[in-house]
Chain A
Amino acid sequence: MSDAARPVVTTRPDNTGLGARIEGSAIGDSIYRWMTTAFALGIPVLLLFIAIEIGAAAWPALKAFGFGFLTSSEWDPPHNIFGAAPAIYGTIVSSFIALVIATPLALGVAIFLSEFAPSWLRQPVAFLVDLLAAIPSVVYGLWGIFVLQPLLRAHVMPLLSAIPLIGRTPLFEGPAYGPSMLSAGLILAIMVLPFISAVSREVLMAVPRSQREAALALGATKWEMIADAVVPYARSGIIGGIILGLGRALGETMAVTMLIGNVHKISASLYAPGYTMASLIANEFAEATGDLHLSALMAVGAVLFVVTLIVNALARWLVWRVSREGQS
């Protein structure tokens, strides 16, 4: 510290010493610049590595089955026939169930916390909801197996089937075993809820005061202000939050693997077991029977990678758009 300060305080600077010091710091500066740049470049390089490694490993399967890999529902490792349609279908359906349940709830929580809640209640409730995101996936799975599934089988599924008209549709058909699309979707709903609500809360709070005041000045009630001014203003950010939740749901592995039943079959019924892309990899990777089986699982991983990449990029863009508008 003292040696750095010396040349500044001396009235007659020692020119040679100062020159040496500046030169030395220039070297230090450039080393520092190079180091931080290298670390920053580590992120794109890592992503590129992941894409290349998984893409290369997936190539044999993609080449062997082509586009049919995505549409065929035959998954037969002994005969080296692989089609990922059931896993893709299961991923979409379970994520859809999750969003249908979680979105209204998360929006309600976000609106309550950002608009209605008294300040003493805001912090604790926000903390509790955020805490949902801190629970490890495997713990959700454990709870799902031993608490949620028995509950669904004994009470919720008979209740759903008893609803007139809706209960008669193929959605709620068949025997109610535990492992099912419904239980996987439900656990996913709980898991993505904190993500959607956190992002929604943030964008709702970023809505300028003037928007609220203008609505109130026109005689709107508080709810009309929210519904007609605040939420429309934050709309694309909220959609971004929902899509972010979708990204989480698509890639969620452990809890789903433990609850969905892991069966290569497309069934209309939500009571039937199924598969998701992530749970397919988790379940079969360690016991892959041959090179093509392994490559097919890598191809499933590649599809998952590309899909979540698109979904996340879209979500980020939407949220970024709102926060940028809020700043200007």
Chain B
Amino acid sequence: MMDRNASRGPASPPKPPLRTTRPSVMQRAAAERAQTTIGRRRLVNVVMVGVTFGAAILATLPLIFILGHLIAAGASSINLDFFTQIPKPPGEAGGGMANAIVGSLVLILAASAFGLPIGIGAGLYLAENRGTHLANAVRFLSDVLNGLPSIVMGIFAWQFLVKPMGKFTALAGGIALGAMMIPLVTRTTEEMIRIVPVSLREAALALGYSRWRTSLVVVLRTALPGIVTGALVAVSRIAGETAPLLFTVLGNQFWSASLRGPIAALPLQIFNFAISPYDQQHSLAWAGALVLIGIVLIISLAARFATRSRFGLGGD
């Protein structure tokens, strides 16, 4: 109908009656329905605002419950002993997790020493070779590695490091954790380097800087706050990991800071105490969890401030 009218074009002016009489019944009905439904549509709108707001409240509740209970159950067991003593034998009162805190710090340092150079180097490569097949493949595989379950990383480290060496070592745990840091560090490094203005790079090259010095001294230096943020986020993610440590560092009841032997770790100690039958160890587990959360939160907050302090890079 419409087409035929249109094809006739301006030669014969379209006849208005055809258009005014025909749709009237349906349109009036539709208009009436619209009148009655507009109220309902507005109501649905308001209800859905409420529903999504409720979802937001509900989603934050577990966090509040967990943090609240952690503080209630853990704060009473946090004292000087907790930070200076090693665990007492089961059933005995007192004792702390000092060796586990030290062990976790050692593991974090070892993981960073392994994961940061590879992650930052790979990020530099991805940012400077965008669009190449290798860069796309590496970026995709880095995402795949990011989704790898930590327990799989744990049994890999056992098979690859613990089994050939014949003993559980902090080194194996550090490498497992470091490998888990790589994808996150790679991704943030790439993103941070991408937002460094090209003009900065060109200016350095125009001044006679070689490419490698431009990349390392000018570009990397400029992106540094963002990269530090990425590194801190990665550290905060692995600081609480337990699964990769089960079969690599094993845990240790005593003082040890050596990379070549079993070492205690805070998450591991929490796990062992949580599943033990002793109340005394349960309350130590709560205190340990509170300290662990505290460490993770401090690192995460530090990451936020490291980004904010300069340029306003970052930003999700």
Contact = CB atoms under 8 A, between A and B. Distances in A.
A65 interface: no
15 contacts: A46-B179, A50-B153, A54-B152, A108-B55, A129-B56, A137-B243, A138-B274, A202-B316, A253-B149, A258-B275, A281-B154, A286-B247, A304-B149, A312-B144, A316-B143
B149 A251 contact: yes
A282 B246 contact: yes
Contacts of A112: 49, 52-53, 55-56
B293 A250 contact: no
Contact of A57 (B159, B247, B274): B159
A25 B179 contact: no
Query: Top 6 nearest A-B pairs by Cβ distance?
Result: A136-B240, A251-B149, A108-B55, A39-B121, A25-B210, A32-B212
Contact of B56 (A113, A281, A285, A308): A113
A128 B60 contact: yes
B101 interface: no
Interface stretch (A4-12, A155-163, A207-215): A4-12
A39 B243 contact: no
A248 B147 CA distance: 7
Interface in A116-151: 116-117, 125, 128-129, 131-132, 134-143, 145-147
Interface string B173-189: 00000010011001000
Nearest to A50: B156
Contact of B242 (A39, A47, A117, A138): A138
B58 A142 contact: no
A116 B149 contact: no
A135 B159 contact: no
B140 to A, nearest CB: 7
Contacts of B141: 43-44, 47
A142 B62 contact: no
Interface stretch (B9-17, B84-92, B281-289): B281-289
A142 B274 contact: yes
Contacts of A298: 155, 159
B45 A108 contact: no
A51 B56 CA distance: 40
Interface stretch (A73-81, A164-172, A217-225): A217-225
B126 A40 contact: yes
A120 to B, nearest CB: 14
B316 to A, nearest CB: 8
B8 interface: no
B17 to A, nearest CB: 28
A232 B306 CA distance: 37
Interface string B250-291: 000000000000000001001100110000001001100100
A305 B152 contact: yes
A102 to B, nearest CB: 9
Interface stretch (B19-27, B64-72, B194-202, B222-230): B64-72
Contacts of B206: 8
A253 B150 contact: yes
Nearest to A247: B147
A5 B203 CA distance: 12
A290 interface: no
Nearest to B269: A138
Nearest to B168: A286
B55 A105 contact: yes
A297 interface: yes
Contact of A42 (B182, B282, B286): B182
A317 B126 CA distance: 18
A33 B296 CA distance: 35
A278 B152 CA distance: 8
B160 interface: yes
Contacts of B134: 37, 40-41
Contacts of B211: 25, 29, 32
B118 to A, nearest CB: 5
B145 interface: yes
A205 to B, nearest CB: 10
A142 B289 contact: yes
A285 B247 contact: yes
A223 B296 contact: no
Interface string B211-233: 11101100000000000000000
A183 interface: no
A100 interface: no
Given A108-B52, A138-B289, A278 B149 contact: yes
A190 interface: yes
Interface string B26-69: 00000000000000011011001101111110111011011001
A150 B267 CA distance: 23
A109 interface: yes
Contact of B63 (A41, A131, A202): A131
B6 to A, nearest CB: 23
B148 A308 contact: yes
B207 A5 contact: yes
B297 interface: yes
Contacts of A229: none
B148 A146 contact: no
A53 interface: yes
A125 B210 contact: no
Contacts of B158: 285
A183 B73 CA distance: 21
Nearest to A8: B208
A36 B210 contact: no
A47 B144 contact: yes
A106 interface: yes
B239 interface: yes
Given A43-B186, A50-B148, A253-B150, A7 B208 contact: yes
